A and B are shown apart, each in its own frame.
Chain A
Amino acid sequence: MSFTDIKQRDLRTPFGVNGVGFGNYAKALQDETFRKAAFNTAYFVVIGVPLTLVVALGAAVLLDRGVKRFQALFKVGYYLPVVTSIVAIAVIWRFVLSPDNGLVNTALGWVGIDGPNWLASKTWAMPSLIAMAVWRNFGSAMIIFLAGLQGIPQSVEEAGQIDGAGSWQRFRYLILPLLRPTVLFTSVTTGIGYLQFFEEPFVMTQGGPLDSTISISMYTYDQFGFGNYGLATSMAYILFVVIAVITFIQFRLLREK
C-alpha cells in the first residue's frame, strides 16, 4: 500500500489505484511538517527515555533497598498510572497544567514563580508532554528493574562492603554492571514505545501549538485522516525502519560497553 496512491475514495473501488514506486517516501521526506515531526520525535526520545529509566531505576532501588516494609504498597502506587487510560490521564493533566488554577502553577506560585501556560507555549509544550510521559511510564520499567535487582545475590554486595566500598561505589561498580541486561531490555522497550509517541500529543495538544509537539505517528495519523492512505503507510514504514535501526544500534552499544 505504501507504494500506491491509494486514497480514501478508493476504498470501494480498489482498481483505480496506481503504483507510484517510492513516490510516497520521497514526498514524506521532503515534507516540512514531516521533518518537524521527526525532530520532535527525536527530542521526545532523547530526553524522555533516559529520564524515564533514571526515575524507574531510582524507584526500583528505593523499593528494593529502602522501603522494605510497605514495598507492595509503593509498588502498586507507582505502577498505577501505567494501567490508567491515556485519555483519562490527558484530561487530568490538562487540568493539572492549566495556567491559572492548575496544580503545577499553584505549587510554583507558593515559591514565587509565575508558571507559564504550559501546553500553549512553543517552548514548554514538549517538556510538559515529556514530564507527563515519564510520570505515566516509569512504573513498567521499574517493575523490570525490580525483578533484575532481586536477581542479584546478596553476597555480591556483602563482598563489596568488606572491600570497603561505599554505597554509591557498590551501586556504580557492582550492581549497575550486573544489571546491564535489564538496562538493555528496558531501554529498548521504552525506546520503541517512545518512538511511537502518539497519544500524548493526540489528546493533549493535537500536535500544536504551531506543530511544536507533532510526532511522526501523530502526523501519520493526520495524513490517514485526510484520506492519504498511501502516504500515511509510507510514513509508518519510515518510522518502522528507524525503530528497527535504533533498536539494533542499542543492542550493539550496550553489548560492547
Chain B
Amino acid sequence: MRRTWWIYLIGVLGLVAVAAPFLWMVLGSFKTQGELMRVPPTWWPRNATGQNYGDLFSKANFPRYFLNSALVALAVTAGNLIFCSMIGYALAKLRFKGRNALFVLVMATLMIPGMVTFVPLFVLVTNAGLANTYPGLILPFLVSPFGVFLMRQFFLGLPDDLIDAGRVDGSTELGIFARIMLPLTRPALATLGILTFLGSWNNFLWPLVVAQTEDKYTLPVALALYSTGQNAQNYGLLMAGAVVVVLPVLVMFLAFQRHVTKGIAITGLK
C-alpha cells in the first residue's frame, strides 16, 4: 500500500497532460487578443471578457454553423438507427439466398479506407446535383457498415423463439421486428446512436468538400477555414469557436461515456 501514492501521482500527471490543452482553450477563449499574445503567457485571464463569444455572432455566423452541424448529425443518427437495425436484423434473423455473401460484402466495405471512395463518391454526388445541399451532406452517411455489424451481432444474441412466438400470435413480419425485437436492442441502439452522433458532429473532410457556400458550413469546416483564413491570428475568436465545437461533444460523452467505451470495446473501431 505504501507505493500507491506515486502510482496515483503518475495517473494525475497523465490527466493533467491530457486536460491541460482543453483547460487552456477554455481560459484562452475569455482572454483579450492582447493578453493572448503576451510573452510569457498568462494562465488565468486577467481581464476576463465575453467579447470572443460575441464575435462568433457578429463577425462570424457560428449559430448557423451550429444549426447545420446539429441538423446533419441528427439526420445521420436517425438514418443509422433505422437502417442499420433493419439491415442488421435481416442479416441476423431472416433466411434468404445470398445472406452470407451480403454480410461479407458489408464487412469488406468496412475495411476500405475513406480516401479510396472519396473521389468517386464526390463525382457521384455532384452528378446527382447534390453538391452544396443538405442531402449531399447527409445521404452518404445514412448507413454505416460498422452500424450494420454492431446491430447484426446484437440481434444474433436474441433467441429465435421470440420471432416464432410473434408469428404464432399472428403478428406481421414488420410487427415482429418493430414491436418485439427492436425494443430489446435498446442498449445497442444507444451505443450506435451516440457513436454516430459524435462521428457525424466531428466529421470534417466530407462537409469541407461538399459545403461550398458559407450557409452550408458545419462547425468543424467553419473553424478550419477561420483558422487558416484571414482570422488565423485572431486567437480569441478561434478559441471560442473551438469551445463551441468541443463542448456539446464533451457534455454528451460525459453523460453517455459508458455506451461509448462499450462500443469501442465490443468492436474496437473508432
Contact = CB atoms under 8 A, between A and B. Distances in A.
A40 interface: no
Contact of B41 (A89, A103, A193, A232): A103
A109 B41 CA distance: 12
A103 B36 CA distance: 12
A91 B120 contact: no
Interface string B1-36: 000100110110011011111101100100000001
A185 B19 CA distance: 27
A239 B246 contact: no
| Interface bin, chain A | 35 or more
A91 B260 contact: no
| Chain A facing B: main interface SS | helix
Interface in A46-67: 59, 62-63, 66-67
Contact of B235 (A63, A95, A193, A198): A95
Contacts of B264: 140, 143-144
Q: Which residue, of A84, A100, A186, has the highest number of chain B Cβ atoms within 10 A? A: A84
Nearest to B8: A67
B8 A11 contact: no
A60 to B, nearest CB: 12
A206 B228 CA distance: 9
Contact of A80 (B19, B24, B41, B220): B19
A240 B113 contact: yes
B20 A103 contact: yes
B28 A95 contact: yes
Contacts of A88: 25, 220, 223, 241-242, 245-246
| Interface bin, chain B | 35 or more
B257 A76 contact: yes
B249 A236 contact: no
B191 to A, nearest CB: 13
Contact of A1 (B28, B120, B242): B120
Interface string B241-262: 1100110011001100100110
B205 interface: yes
A93 interface: yes
A236 B8 contact: no
Interface in A1-58: 1, 6, 11, 14
A66 B260 contact: no
Q: Which residue, of B10, B18, B25, has the highest number of chain A Cβ atoms within 10 A? A: B18
Given A103-B41, A143-B265, A144-B265, A11 B249 contact: no
A203 B205 CA distance: 11
B7 A85 contact: no
Contacts of B25: 88, 91-92, 95
B120 A78 contact: no
A120 interface: no
B119 interface: yes
Contact of A203 (B11, B201, B224): B224
Contacts of B184: none
B46 to A, nearest CB: 14
A237 interface: yes
A102 B21 CA distance: 10
B10 A11 contact: no
A196 B37 contact: no
Contacts of B112: 240
A103 B24 CA distance: 9
B37 to A, nearest CB: 7
Contacts of A229: 119, 123
27 contacts: A66-B7, A74-B15, A76-B257, A79-B253, A79-B260, A80-B19, A80-B253, A83-B253, A85-B202, A85-B220, A85-B246, A87-B242, A88-B245, A91-B25, A100-B39, A101-B39, A101-B41, A103-B20, A143-B265, A144-B264, A147-B265, A189-B269, A199-B204, A203-B228, A224-B118, A239-B115, A240-B112
Interface of B: 4, 7-8, 10-11, 14-15, 17-22, 24-25, 28, 36-41, 111-116, 118-120, 122-123, 126-127, 198, 201-202, 204-205, 219-221, 223-224, 227-228, 235, 238-239, 241-242, 245-246, 249-250, 253-254, 257, 260-261, 264-265, 268-270
Pairs of residues from A and B, 4 with the lowest C-beta to C-beta distance, nearest first: A66-B7, A88-B242, A101-B41, A87-B220
